[in-house]
């Protein structure tokens, strides 16, 4: 082999080695990005379907980002996971962020869902003598402590001229509350969909009130602050995919209910009725929504339900996503 050919081969080998190093370096950089850990509840239909169809994973694959899903029974439990660093992102109601901020959690409001007040309510047995919220005085009311229905109970009592101290709160997760409701060991149960719809259809239950005219009933997407500050591009993609999923649900409610049925463990007709209570439209947080959240926080502090006064605006990025 002559000298020219040898030199040419050496140059080609060097170029190939450089390209290989560059390729692996690029892969390494992509793979070095932290996974996106999402906390969700089965009742969060858009996220549940997004998990099932893998659309988010496909969007994030070119960035080398893995998606990990963690299921929680309710918002307060999900926020505990976010507080201890187990998840980076989650979807909860109005009250859980307030309790989490009071406990020192470091997160930011990423977006909110337009109000869905028909998606929660207070149930009583069908033959109960309780006909109005005022009749709840002295009664045992079950709800998940720190959840959005906690705020519903507080607000409904105030609107009816009652104090929070006028009722006996029984703090129970949804499954335990339903069992207590069926046993007759509680007088009323504040609960969200799809459990709200399911209980009315499956048990001798009557809805005393919905949240309509009582609370706004916003739902929120939250991100752990350290993750949100470093990965705004990822959260933007995530919210794009959630929004697409939400609009698909609106346009294909019956089909969405059929897909969710085995995932949520409920009959399609129950899920379909529940889905119709949601708008499935998501917006960046704004001043009005934050004002509503501050009202929740101030009320809970006044009632000594949370230990300290908080400023909800501290849970925002300088530039909303």
Query: Smallest Cα–Cα separation from 190: which of 293, 94, 82?
Result: 94
Backbone angles phi and psi of 195, in degrees to 5: -65, -35
Structure token pair of residue 314: 């501290």
Give the residues across from 37 on adjacent strands: 68
Task: Give the pLDDT score at 207.
Answer: 97
Give the residues across from 210 on adjacent strands: 121
pLDDT in tens, the chain (321 residues): 444 444 444 443 443 444 333 333 343 444 558 899 999 987 889 999 999 999 999 999 999 999 999 999 888 889 899 988 999 999 999 999 999 999 999 999 999 999 999 999 999 999 999 999 999 999 999 999 989 999 999 999 999 999 999 999 999 999 999 999 999 999 999 999 999 999 999 998 999 999 999 999 999 999 999 999 999 999 999 999 999 999 999 999 999 999 999 999 999 999 999 999 999 999 999 999 999 999 999 999 999 999 999 999 999 986 443
Structure token pair of residue 89: 């992102």
Task: Give the pLDDT score at 42.
Answer: 79
Burial class (CB in 10 A: 0-12, 13-18, 19+), 245: buried
Predicted TM-score (pTM) of this structure? 0.83
DSSP state of 277: T
Question: What's the rounded Cα separation, in Å, for the pair 220 and 112?
Answer: 4
Could you tell me the domains of the chain?
A: 35-114+218-315 (3.40.190.10), 118-210 (3.40.190.10)
Structure token pair of residue 225: 């602050």
Number of H helices, E strands in the chain: 13, 11
Prior bond to 305 cis, omega within 30?
no
In a 3-state reduction of DSSP, which class is residue 173?
coil
Are 97 and 79 within 8 A, CB to CB?
yes
């Amino acid at each position: 082999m002559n000298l020219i050919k040898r030199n040419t081969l050496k140059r080609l080998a060097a170029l190939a080695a450089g390209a290989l190093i560059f390729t692996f370096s690029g892969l390494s950089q992509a793979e070095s990005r932290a996974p996106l850990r999402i906390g969700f509840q089965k009742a969060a239909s858009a996220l549940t379907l997004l998990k099932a169809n893998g659309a988010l994973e496909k969007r994030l694959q070119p960035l080398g980002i893995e998606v990990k899903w963690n299921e929680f029974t309710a918002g307060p439990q999900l926020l505990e996971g976010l507080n201890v660093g187990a998840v980076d992102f989650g979807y909860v109601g109005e009250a859980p962020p307030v309790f989490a901020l009071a406990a020192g959690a470091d997160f930011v409001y990423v977006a909110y869902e337009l109000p869905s007040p028909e998606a929660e309510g207070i149930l009583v047995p069908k033959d109960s003598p309780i006909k109005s919220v005022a009749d709840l005085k002295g009664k045992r009311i079950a709800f998940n402590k720190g959840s959005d229905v906690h705020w519903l109970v507080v607000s409904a009592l105030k609107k009816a001229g009652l104090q929070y101290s006028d009722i006996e709160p029984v703090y129970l997760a949804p499954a335990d509350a339903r069992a207590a409701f069926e046993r007759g060991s509680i007088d009323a149960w504040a609960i969200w969909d799809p459990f709200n719809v399911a209980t009315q259809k499956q048990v001798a239950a009557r809805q005393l009130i919905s949240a309509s005219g009582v609370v706004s009933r916003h739902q929120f997407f939250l991100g752990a602050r350290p993750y949100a500050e470093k990965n705004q591009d990822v959260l933007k993609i995530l919210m794009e995919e959630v929004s697409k999923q939400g609009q698909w649900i609106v346009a294909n409610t019956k089909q969405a209910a059929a897909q969710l049925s085995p995932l949520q463990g409920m009959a399609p007709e129950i899920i379909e009725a529940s889905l119709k209570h949601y708008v499935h439209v998501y917006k960046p947080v704004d001043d009005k929504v934050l004002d509503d959240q501050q009202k929740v926080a101030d009320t809970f502090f006044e009632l000594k339900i949370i230990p300290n006064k908080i400023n909800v605006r501290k849970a925002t990025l300088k530039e909303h996503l």
